Amino acid sequence: MFGFFKPEELERFDKRNITYSRSSYFACYSCGLERHAQTPRMGAWGKNRKKFLIIGEAPGRVEDEKGMPWQGKSGKRLQSELKRFNIDIEQDCLSFNAVNCRPPDNRTPTEREISYCRSTIVQPTLSGNEAHVILLLGSSAVNSVITASEEFGHSISLWRGWAIPDQKRKAWICPTFHPSYVERSEDDDLEQVTTIWRQDIEQAIDLLNTKVPDYSDYRKYVRLLQSEEEIESVLRRILQREEGDFCAFDYETTGLKPYDKGHNIVCVSVCTEEASYAFMDPQRPRIMNLWHRFLRSPNIPKVSHNIKFEDTWSAVLLKTETRNWKWDTMLAAHVLDNRPGITGLKFQTYINFGIFGYDSYINPYLKSLDSKNSNSKNNIYQAVRDLGEDQVLTYCALDSLFTRWIALKQMRELGAI
């Protein structure tokens, strides 16, 4: 397949600032867009003086003719907007696209085309150039860069406006509308769309002077409790208020709802100011008494992500009420931003802390065996057998840890602390 390219074409590849492998050539040829483009595999443009990467959708007609991004009408709008904040797109930024050959008739790139260009151009360019802020313009750019979008979807309406401290990239990722969307907006919507777009861009530029927080060592807060003595010791400290002002807790259970016979709470995690603890089987007699005291205590404020879940399982299986609920991070996420699809714990963990995939190894086991029955069981006990208790406990502990972190951030944003 390497021989499909003429020598002068291969030489042109080598002159660009990206190193291509033989498999890259094959991927480009399989994609096919390069055969129709005047400037195939358009290189990244800009001196990147401020470590500000801008990723768009694909070259348009003017860009294809001139051989560089952001030269057409929408590109001029972007350049003008950046100048309002003293950003020179050529000197301060590095620009490229999710797809770097012009699609025929300026159509939207396909998933297949984005995936080819991701491996041949986008990822190598991201790896080879320092970035402090990555501005993603439109859904194709989100699809190309944000791994989490494979699970949550690529819609720019879902992603725009977040400032994500991505731990993989060690950069702020800031998605917003593509300037062509602003250009196409009807007169009635133009002012609103422009205002939102401008705010998103301003936020991204402000972050050029903000350090990306490091959350990569989050596992150091996890404590797995094995013996009953260890569990009792921790729970007694919590009951005596020795580990901070409030606790987040989480159950891993055999299903979504506890009403069918045979359901069980498999493990528990509780996150304090000190650590996130997890242990198996809270229904052992010696542990049950202390856990009941924790749940019933009016002096210990409690947090969960979707209170209804933990409250229901405690009431049905443990036969006790939970007192002094302090915060529901799912409800607070909805209060802060009422867009659909953004309140789940995994989504909130990514947009707030840039952490994604900590649950990937256990997710297949947590799906209900009967998707039409909310009381159906899952395969969590199979996860314990396949992965081991420690892996299941670690996942549970991280759920509580991130819930507590999110709660603290939400409380500050809403003025509750």
Q: Which domains does the chain have, with CATH numbers?
A: 2-209 (3.40.470.10), 218-413 (3.30.420.10)
Whole-number pLDDT of residue 36: 86
Q: pLDDT category, 31, cuts 50, 70, 90?
A: confident
What is the average per-residue pLDDT within 319-330? 98
The β-bridge relationship of strands 133-137 and 52-56 is parallel
Specify the DSSP class assigned to residue 122. Answer: I
Q: Which of 130, 175, 141 is nearest to 157 (CA)?
A: 175
Better pLDDT: 7 or 251: 251
Q: Which of 6-20, 222-236, 284-298 has the lowest mean pLDDT?
A: 6-20
**Average pLDDT of the segment spanning 385-390:** 97
Q: Name the phi and psi angles at 265, rounded to 5.
A: -90, 115
Q: What is the pLDDT of residues 189-242, one digit of tens each?
A: 889 999 999 999 999 999 999 999 999 999 999 999 999 999 999 999 999 999
- The pLDDT value recorded for residue 97 is 97
127: helix, coil or strand? helix
pTM over 0.95: no
| Mean pLDDT on 1-11 | 34
Is the pLDDT at 14 greater than 50, yes or no? no
**Would the CA dihedral through 333, 152, 215, 209 be positive or negative?**
negative
Amino acid 161 reads G
Residue 111 has pLDDT above 50, yes or no: yes
Which residue in 213, 135, 141, 124 sits closest to 170, CA to CA? Answer: 213
With beta carbons less than 8 A apart as the criterion, state whether 269 and 277 touch: yes
pLDDT band at 98 (very low <50, low <70, confident <90, very high): very high
- Beta carbons within 8 Å of 93's beta carbon, 6+ residues apart: 46, 48, 50, 52, 53, 54, 82, 87
Asked if residue 136 has pLDDT above 50, the reply is: yes
Task: Indicate if the pLDDT at residue 74 is higher than 90.
Answer: yes
Residue 15 has pLDDT above 60, yes or no: no
Q: Strand ranges (DSSP E) for 4-139?
A: 52-56, 93-97, 133-137
Distance CA 131, CA 95 (A): 11
